[in-house]
Structure formats: C-alpha cells, structure tokens
C-alpha cells in the first residue's frame, strides 16, 4: 500500500489568516503545501507569484513540509528561477504550455527543484508518455483549472488508473497527484485508483469543522 499524502491548496485559504491556517494544516500532518499559480491567460483567473512561496518557506522548514508549486501559466520557463529561488521543492508545469517540455523539465532539475508535469482533463494521457521517466511528480487535473471549489470530473478516476499503470510499467517512483473536487467522500476511490498525493482546498480550509478536523476526516476516510 502506498502512503497517501495530503496537499492542502492555499487557494481556498482565508488570506487574512494565511500563516495561521497553513500552520494548522501542516501541524495536523499535511505533507505538502500546494501553491496554485495562475496568470489570467492560460487559465481564467489570477492568483499569486513567487513571493507567496518565499513567505511560506519558513513554515515548510519548521514542519518538514514540501512546498509544491503548480504553474498554471503561459511561458513558465521565464519564471522557473524565481520560483526556485523563493524556495519551491517541486515545480509542476503543464504539457500544454511547454513546447520544449524536456528542456523545461531539465531546467527545473538543474535549479535543484523536483520537476512535475500535468495536463488538462481533455488532454490525452499519451502526451505524458515520453516525459514520464524524467519527472518526480505527475498531476492529474480532475477539474478544468482556474477556479477552486469545482466538482470532480468522474472520468478522472479511469485516467488516474491508466496513469498508474503507465508509471508502474516503467518502474517510476514518481508521485501521482490529483487536484480538483477532492473531498472526504471520494478520497478513498481516488487513492484506490492509484493516486498517492491528494490536493484539497475547500475540503480542508473551509466548512464547519476546523482545518485539523478536516485533515483528520481525510485520514479516517483513507483507512476505511
């Protein structure tokens, strides 16, 4: 059994209390802090830049947490150095924005950061085949990126299962991460399909329970 790691997405946090909320999440055992970077071009929203990574780096160091940065931006190569210097542990780029994907992945690794790759829900998994041996993380988007709080696309489960087979077939140890519409209700299904890193925003940072209680609920769902 693969250990399932939780990656709270700060996109759903209350930015008035960002530091306190992130600290509660990682203090409750979240293994990643997921930072969604949006440019208003590749996706229809704007979020934040490398300064937020720099701000969160001390918390990540304090708790031994991974800073997991997802670049939903056009021309990501222009910003790799900024995000690496800010303290990213993982930088994930989209196949749709990288015409020279091997070069981009190599550049991330040369900056001392683990490279990840992702693709939108309608992009065939075949687009990942040649790059899989070169990455440390593969992300399946289970919603169309750009906004938090969307519903999980049911067909994503079959994609996760197929991608897990692709990774296992080449002996890859890369993490298989899933982002979009993940909740306590579907976490076990997604994990059973082969994912071992679950990104959750609203299901962790919002709701009637505390952040720590939401994380505990995920843990309980994943052991049933």
| pLDDT given at position 1 | 58
Distance CA 104, CA 113 (A): 12
What pLDDT is recorded for position 208?
87
Residue 44 CB burial class (10 angstroms; 0-12, 13-18, ≥19): exposed
Alpha-carbon radius of gyration of the chain = 16
CATH number at residue 93: 3.20.20.70
**pLDDT in single tens digits along all 224 residues of the chain:** 579 999 999 999 999 999 999 999 999 999 999 999 999 999 988 999 999 999 999 999 999 999 999 999 999 999 999 999 999 999 999 999 999 999 999 999 999 999 999 999 999 999 999 999 999 999 999 998 776 667 999 999 999 999 999 999 999 999 999 999 999 999 999 999 999 999 999 999 998 899 999 999 999 999 86
Which strands sit side by side in the sheet containing 66-72, from one edge to the other?
Answer: 5-8, 197-200, 175-179, 137-141, 114-119, 90-94, 66-72, 32-38
Could you give the CA distance from residue 44 to residue 167 in angstroms, rounded to a whole number? 31
Please give the pLDDT value at position 26: 97
Give the pLDDT confidence score for residue 223 in this predicted structure.
85
Domain span at 52: 5-223
pTM exceeds cut of 0.75: yes
Enumerate the active-site residues. 36, 179
Give the chain's domain count: 1
| Residues 52, 54, 56: CA angle, nearest 5 degrees | 70
């Amino acid at each position: 059994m693969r250990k399932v790691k939780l990656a709270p997405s700060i996109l759903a946090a209350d930015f008035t209390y960002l530091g306190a909320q992130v600290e509660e999440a990682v203090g409750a055992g979240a293994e990643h802090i997921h930072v969604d970077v949006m440019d208003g071009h590749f996706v229809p929203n704007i979020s934040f830049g490398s300064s937020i990574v720099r701000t969160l780096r001390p918390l990540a160091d304090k708790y031994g947490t991974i800073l997991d940065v997802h670049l939903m931006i056009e021309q990501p190569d222009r910003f790799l150095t900024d995000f690496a210097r800010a303290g990213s542990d993982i930088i994930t780029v989209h196949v749709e924005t990288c015409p020279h994907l091997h070069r981009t992945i190599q550049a991330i690794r040369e900056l001392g950061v683990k490279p990840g790759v992702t693709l939108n829900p309608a992009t065939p998994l075949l687009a990942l085949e040649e790059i899989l041996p070169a990455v440390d993380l593969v992300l399946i988007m289970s919603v169309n990126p750009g906004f938090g709080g969307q519903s999980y696309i049911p067909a994503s489960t079959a994609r996760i299962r197929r991608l897990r087979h692709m990774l296992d077939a080449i002996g890859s140890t890369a993490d298989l991460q899933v982002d979009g519409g993940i909740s306590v209700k579907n976490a076990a299904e997604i994990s059973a399909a082969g994912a071992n890193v679950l990104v959750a925003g609203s299901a962790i940072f919002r709701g009637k329970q505390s952040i720590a209680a939401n994380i505990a609920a995920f843990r309980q769902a994943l052991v049933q």
